């Protein structure tokens, strides 16, 4: 009996087994005319999997369900398969990334995508939590892939197959370019994988989503009020006049929803500096940066409504690998996203040879570093912070040089310069 896979042709969880079969040289046949919600509800199917989940694999020894288990079965069906690596530690790392792909990537993409499609209740706070968790996972994956072509070793393993299939749903349905561009190594990895011949044979040409799906969740239908049936012998009672309170008064009796607490920075006196205007000027200035952008910054700057801060990384002696140092800074900027409405920043990685120095300049709303930033972004504790003294012309010139990525900076070349805007 051949291996028969019960699933639809577009089921990303079925893709795992089919791609593994291509790499393993194992014949797996996709069942004909599978119809979700029909084929998996038949008595024959429920006998193989009582809860009716797909995909399901029929084997000579009996059925196997759960997509990762199916992919493992297919991969182990032929001796000498390299999909599980060649050493015990390879095997451990492959299993590690399979779990990560399932619990950190797939689960959070699903929590973001499916409620928007109406497969569950859409709750904005739950969506925000799912996106935050997904960003954290993609950041960790991006760091690993900065120096690795594959998840484990130097060739495709089952971990890559399962990771790519889980990312497939996100890339094709909800993770648009502006979202994934923050994780360039994940992007490179995904497009490399889906264009491998064995992947492409199953997935075809993959296109990235161009928009986030609108919310399609439906409100639950109102339940009819229970009415007491009248008995034939029950005498008619004279209807009593009941005073109906005006709707306005009734509404007043209901407890009003508690307003969302405002960010303390929104309660500060208005500032003449419009942060978005400065960010726009910075982004659009391509020539004569000193004369246009720098001059424009000081013309806009409001020392009463904003403050400038220098930061220096405390542990520069650890910055011995260039790409790791740059990824460290990139991760910091990702975690600072919570302050985007209230901040602008420049981060410089300095030096030709290790150890590399990390220095930054930040513009914050208010006279102090916002407390919610200190509380929520753990990277803040890794830096020494010093408020810029604008009466000191040397410090003011240092601000100019950091904004314009002046090189050399303090006598050393720039390895990298990143902007938070």
pLDDT digits 0-9 by tens, 378-406: 889 899 999 999 999 999 999 999 999 99
Nearest 5°: the CA angle 328, 332, 333 is 120
**Better-scored residue on pLDDT, 242 or 85:** 85
Convert the pLDDT of each residue in 7-63 to its tens digit: 988 899 999 999 999 999 999 999 888 888 898 889 989 999 888 889 999 999 999
pLDDT at 168: 96
Judge whether 355 and 319 are in contact, CB under 8 Å: yes
Statement: residue 153 has pLDDT above 50? yes
DSSP letter for each residue of 385-401 = EEE--TT-HHHHHHHHH
pLDDT of residue 312 exceeding 50? yes
Between 316 and 223, the more confident residue is 316
228-283 pLDDT, tens digit each: 555 545 445 444 554 554 444 444 444 455 566 788 899 999 999 999 999 999 99
Q: What share of the chain in percent tops pLDDT 90?
A: 68
Contact 298, 386 (CB under 8 A): no
Range in 47-56, 180-189, 351-360 the model is least confident about: 47-56
64: left (phi over 0), alpha (psi -120 to 50) or beta: beta
Contacts 24+ apart (CB under 8 A), 173-178: 173/113, 173/209, 173/213, 174/109, 174/112, 174/113, 174/116, 174/209, 174/212, 174/213, 175/109, 175/208, 175/209, 176/208, 176/209, 176/210, 176/211, 176/212, 177/208, 177/210
Query: Sign of the CA dihedral 364, 365, 369, 373?
Result: negative
Work out the percent of the chain whose per-residue pLDDT is above 70: 89
Residue 76 has pLDDT above 80, yes or no: yes
| R_g of the chain computed on alpha carbons | 29
Domain range 84-203, CATH class: mainly alpha
CATH code for the domain defined by 3-75: 3.40.30.10
Among 97-101, 202-206, 238-242, 351-355, the range scoring the smallest mean pLDDT is 238-242
| Backbone angles phi and psi of 177, in degrees to 5 | -55, -40
Task: Examine the pLDDT at 323 and tell me if it is beyond 90.
Answer: no
How confident is the model over 161-173, as a mean pLDDT?
A: 96
Higher pLDDT, 245 or 294: 294
* 253 backbone dihedrals φ, ψ, rounded to 5°: -75, -25
Residue 80, both tokens: 């000498």
Between residues 318 and 412, the one the model is more confident about: 412
| Res 120 pLDDT > 90 | no
What is the per-residue pLDDT for 208?
A: 95
The overall average pLDDT reported for the chain is 88
Residues of the chain with CATH 3.40.30.10: 3-75
Domain 275-420 belongs in CATH node 3.40.50.1980? no
3-state helix, strand, coil in the chain (%, to 5): 50, 15, 40
Q: Which residues contact 346 (CB under 8 A, 6 or more apart)?
A: 360, 361, 362, 402, 403, 405, 417, 418, 419, 420
Name residues whose C-beta falls within 8 Å of residue 97's C-beta, 6 or more positions apart in sequence: 151, 152, 159, 162, 163
Mean pLDDT of 169-181: 95
CATH 3.30.70.1010 placement within the chain: 275-420
């Amino acid at each position: 009996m051949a291996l028969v896979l019960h699933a639809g042709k577009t089921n990303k969880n079925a893709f795992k087994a089919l791609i593994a079969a291509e790499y393993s040289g194992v014949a797996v046949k996709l069942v004909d005319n599978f119809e979700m919600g029909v084929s998996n509800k038949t008595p024959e199917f429920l006998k193989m999997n009582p809860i009716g989940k797909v995909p399901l694999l029929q084997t000579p020894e009996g059925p196997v369900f759960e997509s990762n288990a199916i992919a493992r079965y297919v991969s182990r069906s032929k001796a000498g398969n390299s999909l599980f690596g060649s050493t015990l530690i390879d095997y451990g790392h492959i299993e590690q990334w399979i779990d990560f792909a399932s619990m950190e990537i797939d689960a959070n993409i699903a929590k973001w995508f499916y409620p928007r499609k109406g497969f569950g209740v859409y709750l904005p706070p739950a969506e925000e939590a799912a996106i935050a968790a997904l960003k954290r996972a993609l950041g960790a994956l991006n760091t690993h892939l900065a120096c690795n072509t594959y998840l484990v070793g130097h060739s495709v393993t089952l971990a890559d197959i399962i990771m790519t299939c889980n990312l497939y749903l996100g890339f094709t349905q909800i993770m648009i370019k502006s979202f994934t561009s923050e994780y360039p190594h994940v992007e490179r990895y995904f497009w490399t994988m889906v264009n491998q011949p064995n992947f492409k044979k199953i997935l075809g040409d993959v296109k990235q989503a161009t928009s986030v799906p609108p919310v399609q969740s439906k409100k639950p239908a109102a339940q009819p009020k229970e009415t007491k049936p009248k008995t034939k012998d029950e005498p008619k009672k004279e209807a009593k006049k009941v005073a109906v309170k005006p709707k306005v008064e009734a509404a007043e009796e209901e407890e009003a929803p508690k307003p969302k607490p405002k960010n303390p920075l929104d309660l500060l006196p208005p500032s003449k500096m419009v942060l978005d205007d400065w960010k726009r000027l910075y982004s659009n200035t391509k020539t004569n940066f000193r004369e246009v952008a720098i001059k424009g910054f000081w013309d806009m700057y409001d020392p009463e409504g904003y403050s400038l801060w220098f930061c220096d990384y405390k542990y520069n002696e650890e910055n011995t690998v260039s790409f790791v140092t740059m990824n460290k800074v990139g991760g910091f900027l990702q975690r600072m996203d919570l302050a985007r409405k209230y901040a602008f920043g420049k981060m410089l990685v300095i030096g030709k040879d290790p150890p590399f120095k990390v220095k930054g300049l930040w513009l914050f709303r208010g006279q102090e570093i916002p407390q919610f930033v200190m509380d929520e972004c753990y990277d803040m504790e890794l830096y020494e912070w010093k408020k810029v003294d604008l009466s000191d012309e040397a410090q003011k010139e240092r601000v100019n040089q950091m904004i314009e990525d002046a090189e050399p900076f303090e006598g050393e070349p720039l390895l990298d310069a990143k902007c938070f805007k």
